[in-house]
Structure 1
Amino acid sequence: MEIEKVRCLIIGSGPAGYTAAIYAGRANLSPVLYEGLQPGGQLTTTTEVENFPGYPQGIDGPKLMEDLRTQAERFGADIRFGIATASDLTNAPYQIVIDGEKTIEAQTLIIATGATAKYLGLEDEKKYAGMGVSACATCDGFFYRKKVVAVVGGGDTACEEAIYLAGLASKVYLIVRKPFLRASKIMQERVMNHDKIEVLFEHNAVGLYGDNGVEGVNLVERFGAADEKRYSLPIDGFFLAIGHQPNSDIFKPYIDTDETGYILTEDNSPRTNVPGVFAAGDVADPHYRQAITAAGSGCKAAIEAERYLSERGL
C-alpha cells in the first residue's frame, strides 16, 4: 500500500477543516486536506447563510464554502477528494487510510469530520431540503418570522429549538412520538408554559406536502392504535431536533469520546488525549454547531498543530 508522509493532515472540509487549512497553510505546514463524503460540509445543503460575519447581505452556503476552499488553496493547502476509511493513532507519525487504498503518515492530524443530523427517513425530507426542512433552528429560524413551524423531538435539544423558534415564529408545534417529554424538568416547564408552543404528544410525522416548499405536515396520532387518527397540519417550516451523529467512528479506538461519539477535547482547546491529534468543528461540539464556532475551532487546531511541530523540531 502506498504511503505518503505529510506534516499536517486535515480530515474534513466544512468551515473547521477549511479554516484549519488556511491557518496551517499560512504557517508553512504544507497541509493536506481530504474533503470526505460531502465536500464543503453541511453548509453546502443550505441555501442562504445570514449569520456568518462579513456578509451583511447573506451568502449562499455553497458559495461561502467555495470561498473558504479558494482561500485555503491560495495559502498552499493541498485539497483532495477522498474519504478516510481507517486510522492507526497508536504512535506518531499517525496513519490514516484514504479510500481503503492509500496510507497517509501524518506528524499532526486535525479531525474536522463534522456531525450528521439525524432525520426521520422520510422521502419528503430530501424533497424539501432547503425548502422548509431544516435541522438547525439557530441557522434557519430567522426565515420563519411570524410564520408557523413544527419541531420534531422530545429531548432538551427539541425543547430548546422550540423555545428559540417561538421567539420568531407566530406558532410552534412540538411533535413528540411518546406520551411524554424526555427533556429535563426545567425545559419541560418552559415549553409547556409557553403560549406560542403547542405540544402534540403521541404524534408521528409521516410526510410533508407543498408545491414550492413545505406547506404542511401529515400526522398520525396514536400510530397503530385502534383509535389512530390521521390528519394534515398546515405549517411553513419543519425542523428536525432528534440529534446528531458525530462522524468519529474510525478514531474511537484511540480518541476519547462521549457516549454519543463527540470527541472530547482538553481545557477549552482542540487538543485530544492523543498528542498531535486535534479535533475541530461539530465532531467535537454537541452544543453550538455553528459555522462561525467551527471556523474558530479550526483556527485553534491549526495553531496548536504548528506549536506541536515547532516544539518537537518537526
Structure 2
Amino acid sequence: MRKVVVLGTGPAGLTAAIYLARANMQPLVIEGQEPGGQLTTTTDVENFPGFPDGIMGPELMANMRKQAERFGAEFKRGWVTDVDLSQRPFTLTVEGDGQVETDALIISTGASAKLLGIPGEKEYMGQGVSTCATCDGFFYRGKKIIVVGGGDSAMEEATFLTKFATEVHVIHRREELRASKIMQDRARANEKITWGLNRVPVEVVPNENGGGIKGLKVRNKATDEIEFVEADGIFVAIGHKPNTDFLKGKLEMDELGYLKVQPGTTRTNVPGVFACGDVQDKEYRQAITAAGTGCMAALDCERFLEGSATHDWSQAL
C-alpha cells in the first residue's frame, strides 16, 4: 500500500517525485520502458534554465533522479499494463511484478514521437536525426536540413528552422500536404523552404568518416527511383502518440489520446489521479514545461491527500 505512485521518469515525473519526497510523501516511482523519457535520446540541452553551458540530456535526467532519491523517493523498474481507478485505493498491475495499491496516482508517461521506421533513424537520433525543432534547431545554424512530414506540425517546424538553416527541404510521401491552408501558404512563401513531394524516406545515410549524417535516401513514387537528398540534419515531424493505451476507458482523454485535465490544474476526472508532462500537453512539449506541470501535480496531490482540496469534483471537464 502506497500513499502516492508516480508513473514515468521524464522531467515531469521526476520533478513530481522531488516535491513529493521533500514533503515526506515517500513516493514510489515506476520507471516504464524508457527511463528518463525522451531527453535520454537528446545530446546537448541548452534551453533548460540553470545550465549556461548546456547539459547532456541523459546527465540532466540522472541528476533529477539522484535529487529525488536523496529525499527518499523509491524507484521500481516496470511497466504498468492495467489500472483499476474505480475505487480508492487504486490498483496498478505491473508487468511481471504483481500489483501495487496506492491512495493517489500521478501519470507522467509522456508521449512518443512517431518515427519512420527506416534504417539509421534510431541509430542517429540526437546525432543528426531529431524529433524536436525547438530543442535542436539551434545546432543547425548555417546548415541544410530536411523536415519529413506534411501536416501542420511539419510546416510549423520547417518555418521555424529557417531561422537557423540555409535551406529546409520538406519531404512528404504524398503530392498534397495535409497541413491547413494557412500553414501551407506560410511555408510556401518562405524562400528557404524547398519541396520533395511524393517521396518516401528509405534510409538515413551517415557520414563515411563517422559523426553525424550526410543525408536521406528517398524513393520517388512517380518513377520508383531512389534519390539522395543531402542534409546535415533530419527532423521527423509526423506527430506524437501519448502513452495512454493502458488508460483507455479509465480516464477522460481527447481524440488523440492525450489526458484531459481541469484547466489550471493537473487534476483528471477521477479524484486522486493527476496528469503532468507531455501525456496531457500536445502544445508545448518542452522539458521545462513538463517539469513545471510535475511540480503542479505534486502540489495538487499533496493537498488532495491532506484533505485540503476545495475543488468540486463533480464539475465536468
TM-score, structure 2 as length reference:
0.94
Aligned equivalents of 1:271, 1:100: Cα separation in 2: 29
Please tell me whether the aligned partners of residues 119 and 204 of structure 2 are also in contact (alpha carbons under 8 angstroms).
no
- Report the Cα offset of residue 199 of structure 1: 2.0
Match of 2:212 in 1: 213
Aligned equivalents of 1:50, 1:250: Cα separation in 2: 34
Letter in 1 for 2:220: E
- Report the Cα offset of residue 30 of structure 1: 1.1
Structure 2 gaps of 5+ residues are 310-317
**Structure 2 residue 40 is the aligned partner of structure 1 residue 41:** no
**Structure 2 residue 139 is the aligned partner of structure 1 residue 143:** yes
Match of 1:104 in 2: 100
Q: CA RMSD in A?
A: 1.2
Aligned equivalents of 1:100, 1:258: Cα separation in 2: 30
Match of 1:243 in 2: 239
Which runs of structure 2 are paired with 1:74-93 in the superposition (5 Å)?
Answer: 74-93=70-89
**Structure 2 residue 240 is the aligned partner of structure 1 residue 281:** no
Aligned equivalents of 1:191, 1:232: Cα separation in 2: 23
Aligned equivalents of 1:156, 1:130: Cα separation in 2: 23
Match of 2:148 in 1: 152
Residue correspondences, number? 306
Match of 1:117 in 2: 113
Residues 96-105 or 291-300, more deviating:
96-105
Letter in 1 for 2:303: R
Structure 1 gaps of 5+ residues are none
SS of match in other structure, 1:267: coil
Counterpart among 241, 254, 262 of residue 250 in structure 2:
254
Counterpart among 7, 17, 21 of residue 25 in structure 1:
21
TM-score, structure 1 as length reference:
0.95
Match of 2:312 in 1: none
Aligned equivalents of 1:216, 1:10: Cα separation in 2: 40
Which runs of structure 2 are paired with 1:169-248 in the superposition (5 Å)?
Answer: 169-211=165-207, 212-222=211-221, 225=222, 227-248=223-244
Please tell me whether the aligned partners of residues 95 and 103 of structure 1 are also in contact (alpha carbons under 8 angstroms).
yes
Cα distance per residue 1:74-112 (max 9 Å; x no partner): 111111211111111111111111124321111110000
Aligned equivalents of 1:229, 1:62: Cα separation in 2: 40
Match of 1:300 in 2: 296
Aligned equivalents of 1:209, 1:249: Cα separation in 2: 33
Q: Which consecutive segments of 4 or more residues in structure 1 shift more than 4 A?
A: none
- Report the Cα offset of residue 269 of structure 1: 1.5
SS of match in other structure, 2:33: coil
Aligned equivalents of 1:233, 1:193: Cα separation in 2: 22
Aligned equivalents of 2:225, 2:42: Cα separation in 1: 34
Aligned equivalents of 2:289, 2:164: Cα separation in 1: 23
SS of match in other structure, 2:304: helix
Aligned equivalents of 1:312, 1:186: Cα separation in 2: 47
Aligned equivalents of 2:63, 2:10: Cα separation in 1: 12
**Structure 2 residue 14 is the aligned partner of structure 1 residue 15:** no
Aligned equivalents of 2:275, 2:104: Cα separation in 1: 11
SS of match in other structure, 2:306: helix
Cα distance per residue 1:193-235 (max 9 Å; x no partner): 111111221111111212221111112222xx4x333211110
Match of 2:160 in 1: 164
Residues 98-107 or 164-173, more deviating:
98-107
Please tell me whether the aligned partners of residues 85 and 100 of structure 1 are also in contact (alpha carbons under 8 angstroms).
no
Cα distance per residue 1:5-34 (max 9 Å; x no partner): 111100000000100000111111111101
Match of 2:60 in 1: 64
Please tell me whether the aligned partners of residues 86 and 100 of structure 1 are also in contact (alpha carbons under 8 angstroms).
no
